[in-house]
Amino acid sequence: MPNNAKNLRKCAVCRIHADKSEMIRFVKTKDEKIFLDRSKTADGRGVWVHDSAECIQKLIKKKLLNTAFKCSVSESLYEELDGKREF
């Protein structure tokens, strides 16, 4: 699938590459705000994760956003994720 290569992103949880359409994106903006980027196009450093219960649960349990963004992510973001099954 060479034509789609540019749409591939690596999941921060399982490290497997997948198409953007199968993933959710988190972003850290210049002013250090971290949030779920529903548009997938927000400015800033992006972290991609599979839009699957398995990867999202692991992300929450191990607080992998802290690792991915190399900073401390607010509990409320994890709680928001935990409360949602659909994105």
User: Can you give the binding site for Zn ion, defined by CB under 5 A?
Assistant: 11, 13-14, 50, 55
Q: How far is the CB of 37 from Zn ion (least distance, A)?
A: 17
Q: How far is the CB of 77 from Zn ion (least distance, A)?
A: 18
DSSP string, the chain: -GGGGGGEEEBTTT--EEEGGGEEEEEE-TT--EEE-TTS--SSEEEEEESSHHHHHHHHHTTHHHHHHTSPPPHHHHHHHHT-S--
Which CB sits closer to Zn ion, 13 or 34? 13
Which CB sits closer to Zn ion, 11 or 64? 11
CB-based closest residue to Zn ion: 11
Q: How far is the CB of 52 from Zn ion (least distance, A)?
A: 7
Which CB sits closer to Zn ion, 22 or 42? 22
